[in-house]
């Protein structure tokens, strides 16, 4: 059931992103010449391919045996395992992982209510100076720390993913591009 919800979330995000891209392209085409239109279409086609553009960095994450996309990253130099979760608004860390990178919220910091697959739980807001996933580096990233019993796996959410050039699900793989 969880795999179906993850795939549905991925498809919803991709559908929204493609609709926004189509809207932008439609507006741009109305104002361009035929030559500019052809250039826009070539740019769109190359953006959709799995082949990295010059100056871009890609990370391809295969689906694991459970159907999830697991990857390792680094937060402030410390290795952290993540499950890519396009349904998570921010990076979500369990207390054990957060403590390993030096983030130890006090009990009074747990003042944000978040909805998870396991229900509503209190979490502590934090900001991460740098998150590196496969060489894709994003700075100043919002995150939440959740109690260990509420979060077994750290989640790589939209606070990281939305700062990339693109992310997509294709051919059974998650593709992140910066």
SS (H, E, C) 36-79: HHHHHHHHHHHHHCCCCCCCCCEEEEEECCCCCEEEEEEECCEE
Q: What is the largest CA-CA distance in the chain?
A: 61
Residue 174 pLDDT exceeds 50: yes
Q: Residue 65 above 50 pLDDT?
A: yes
Q: What are phi and psi of 64, to 5 degrees?
A: -85, 180
| pLDDT at 20 (0 to 100) | 52
Query: Can you give the pLDDT at residue 72?
Result: 97
Query: pLDDT (tens digit, 9 = 90+) per residue, 66-119?
Result: 999 999 999 988 999 999 999 999 999 999 999 999 999 999 999 999 988 778
What mean pLDDT do residues 1-12 have? 51
- Encode pLDDT of 113-158 as tens digits: 998 877 899 999 999 999 999 999 999 999 999 999 999 999 999 9
Domain spans in the chain, listed from the N-terminal domain onward: 2-48, 58-177
**Helix %, strand %, coil % of the chain (to 5):** 35, 40, 30
**Which pLDDT value is given to residue 10?**
54
Residue 61 predicted with pLDDT over 50: yes
58 — pLDDT class (breaks 50, 70, 90): very high
Instruction: Indicate the SS3 state at residue 33.
Output: coil
What pLDDT is recorded for position 79?
A: 96
User: Which CATH number fits the domain 58-177, given the four candidates 2.40.70.10, 2.40.50.100, 3.50.50.60, 1.10.3720.10?
Assistant: 2.40.70.10
- Identify the pLDDT of residue 118: 77
């Amino acid at each position: 059931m969880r795999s179906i919800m993850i795939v549905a979330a991925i498809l919803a995000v991709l559908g929204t992103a493609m609709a926004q891209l189509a809207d932008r392209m439609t507006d741009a085409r109305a104002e361009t010449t035929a030559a500019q239109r052809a250039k826009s279409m070539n740019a769109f086609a190359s953006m959709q391919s799995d082949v990295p553009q010059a100056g871009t960095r890609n990370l391809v994450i295969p689906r694991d045996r459970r159907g999830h996309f697991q990857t390792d990253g680094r937060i402030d130099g410390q290795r952290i395992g993540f499950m890519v979760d396009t349904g998570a608004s921010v990076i979500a860390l369990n207390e054990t992982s957060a403590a390993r990178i030096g983030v130890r919220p006090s009990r009074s910091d747990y003042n944000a209510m978040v909805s998870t697959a396991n229900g509503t739980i209190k979490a502590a807001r934090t900001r991460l100076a740098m998150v590196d996933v496969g060489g894709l580096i994003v700075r100043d990233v919002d995150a939440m720390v959740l109690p260990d019993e509420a979060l077994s796996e750290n989640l790589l959410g939209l606070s990281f993913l939305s700062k990339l050039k693109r992310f997509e699900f294709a051919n059974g793989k998650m593709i992140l591009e910066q």
